[in-house]
């Protein structure tokens, strides 16, 4: 950046500190920071860094997530820590066979786009609908109206009670996420590689759904009809509450984190009651309860990866689901643990560059990552 742009950045910093920055100017400031951090780090004086900290701390949470400055470090090598700004950027030249694979001019063979709103709806008659290619309304064959709009699938209760429950299933592929509003008003956010089976309209004294993978629930209150979620080795019972369940088949445990209300966790004849701010872990037939890092538990829903003392295998499982990748390990698996926050909206190479600051290296070949210790 030349001196004129540097002065422009100084002006933007002053205006941001007084809350007078426009959205396009915020993007300009982000761009200046990331380019300077990569190409001319000596320009970033302690004074500028402190002022940037003050600016971003004043931003509202939902906005700050988009441009959060990130610190990621290895517990073995804190000296490798680096603070960068995340900027959403897509390279040109997409692969015609796989639109997620894009050209990359650098040490990696290619780059991979982040996940997006993708889902397949399996209707009661077994037919499948690709939701990311569908707009407007659908019917499930039993008269229930289903609307699809901007990554949200919404069921509208027909109002006329039925005696038999009719089930639909929504499947989120790797590299996807989706939001669902059930007929009772319950909202569900589904993470990559997740499946939810549910009735198009709830019948009877209970509201039952079945989950594989991870989902965040905001359950509509109905004191007469408890809401139950069945997932790997457990059942969660609630009346009206906000909670996150992570129950992937390739993880050793299932976790439930409670944000609001109260839930009962049941597994193999045992049970535990969670209060807000607590998390249960079901593993090998046992249930343990501890304080939850709620922000980290729902970071995926808010557009972030959030790791805390996390091993590389666990990190790569999360990354592989979001970018729809295969992971191979070369030369053993690092025992280091990592902590940090990274935007999910950036391309794969930006995530790997941050992780490489700790000493682990990566290669990309199409949709395969090699992790090199």
Whether residues 293 and 320 share a domain: the answer is: no
Residues 109 and 365: beta-carbon distance below 8 Å: yes
CATH number at residue 354: 3.55.50.30
Query: What are residue 139's DSSP bridge partners?
Result: 145
Residue with tokens 């015609």: 96
Tokens for 362, please give them.
């990566």
- Distance, CA of 160 to CA of 337 (rounded, Å): 54
Nearest one of 182, 216, 218 to 199, comparing CA atoms:
182
CA 277 to CA 258: how far, in whole Å?
6
Give the N- to C-terminal CA distance of the chain in Å, as an integer. Answer: 35
**Considering the domain boundaries, does residue 340 fall inside one?**
yes
> Residue 362 forms beta bridges with which residues?
371
Q: Enter the tokens of residue 105.
A: 């001019």
Asked if 256 and 244 count as a contact pair (C-beta separation under 8 A), the reply is yes
Domain range for residue 246?
116-297
pLDDT tens for each residue of the chain, 373 residues long: 344 456 676 677 767 666 666 655 665 665 555 555 444 555 555 555 555 555 544 443 333 333 333 344 444 333 333 333 333 223 334 454 567 777 766 678 999 999 999 999 999 889 999 998 887 788 775 667 788 988 999 998 766 666 788 899 999 999 999 999 999 999 999 999 999 999 998 988 999 999 999 999 999 999 899 999 999 989 999 978 999 999 999 999 999 999 999 999 999 989 999 999 999 999 988 999 999 999 999 999 999 999 999 999 999 999 999 999 999 999 888 888 888 889 999 999 999 998 888 788 999 999 999 999 7
CA distance 295 to 273: 20
Instruction: With CA atoms as reference, report the closest residue to 130 among 157, 155, 148.
Output: 148
**Same-domain status, 10 and 52:** yes
Are residues 150 and 42 located together in one domain of the fold?
no
- Domain-terminating residue out of 297, 320, 352: 297
What CATH number does the domain containing 149 carry?
2.60.120.1440
Domain boundary among 297, 326, 355: 297
Quick one: 255 and 313 in the same domain? no
Using an 8 Å Cβ cutoff, are 367 and 98 in contact? yes
Does residue 291 sit in the same domain as residue 311? Answer: no
Q: What is the DSSP letter of 114?
A: P
Domain count, the chain: 3
User: Is there a domain that residue 344 lies in?
Assistant: yes
How far apart, in whole angstroms, are the C-alpha atoms of residue 184 and residue 181?
A: 8
> Counting Cβ atoms within 10 Å, is residue 104 exposed (0-12), middle (13-18) or buried (19+)?
middle
In a domain, 75, yes or no: no
Query: What's the CA gap between 206 and 239, in Å, rounded?
Result: 10
- The enclosing H or E element of 315 equals helix 312-323
pTM of the model: 0.75
What are 167's strand-pairing partners?
199
Q: Which residues contact 353 (CB under 8 A, 6 or more apart)?
A: none
Report which DSSP code applies to 164: S
314, 233: one domain: no
Residues 155 and 243 in one domain: yes
Q: Which of 45, 57, 48 is nearest to 29 (CA)?
A: 48
- In this structure, the answer to whether residues 139 and 176 fall within a common structural domain is yes
Q: Same domain, yes or no, for 144 and 281?
A: yes
**81 within some domain:** no
Give yes or no: residues 327 and 264 share one domain. Answer: no
């Amino acid at each position: 950046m030349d001196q004129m742009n540097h002065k422009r950045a100084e002006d933007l910093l002053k205006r941001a500190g007084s809350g007078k920055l426009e959205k396009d100017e915020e993007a300009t400031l982000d761009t200046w920071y990331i380019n300077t951090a990569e190409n001319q780090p000596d320009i970033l004086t302690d004074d500028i860094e402190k002022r940037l900290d003050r600016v971003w701390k004043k931003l509202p949470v939902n906005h700050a997530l988009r441009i959060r400055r990130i610190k990621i470090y290895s517990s073995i090598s804190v000296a490798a820590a680096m603070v960068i700004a995340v900027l959403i950027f897509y390279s040109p030249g997409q692969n015609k066979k796989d639109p997620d694979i894009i050209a990359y001019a650098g040490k990696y063979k290619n780059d991979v786009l982040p996940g997006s709103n993708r889902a397949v709806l399996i209707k009661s008659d077994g037919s499948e609908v690709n939701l990311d290619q569908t707009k407007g309304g659908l019917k499930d064959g039993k008269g229930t109206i289903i609307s699809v709009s901007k990554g949200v699938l919404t069921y509208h209760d027909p109002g006329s009670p039925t005696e038999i429950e009719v089930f639909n299933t929504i499947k989120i592929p790797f590299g996807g996420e989706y939001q669902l509003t059930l007929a009772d008003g319950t909202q569900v956010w589904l993470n990559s590689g997740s499946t939810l089976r549910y009735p198009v309209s709830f019948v009877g004294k209970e509201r039952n759904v079945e989950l594989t993978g991870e989902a965040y629930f905001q359950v509509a209150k109905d004191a007469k009809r408890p809401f139950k979620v069945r997932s790997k080795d457990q059942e969660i019972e609630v009346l009206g509450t906000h909670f996150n369940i992570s129950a992937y088949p390739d993880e050793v445990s299932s976790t439930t984190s409670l944000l609001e209300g109260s839930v009962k966790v049941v597994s193999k004849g045992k049970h535990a009651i969670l209060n807000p701010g607590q998390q249960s872990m079901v593993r090998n037939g046992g249930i343990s309860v501890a304080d939850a890092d709620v922000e980290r538990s729902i970071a995926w829903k808010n557009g972030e990866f959030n790791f805390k003392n996390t091993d590389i295998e666990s990190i790569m499982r999360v990354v592989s689901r979001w970018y729809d990748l295969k992971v191979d390990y070369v030369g053993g698996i690092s025992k280091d643990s990592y902590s940090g926050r990274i935007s999910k909206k950036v391309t794969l190479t930006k995530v790997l560059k941050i992780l490489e600051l700790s000493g682990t290296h990566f290669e990309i070949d199409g949709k395969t990552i090699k992790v090199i210790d």
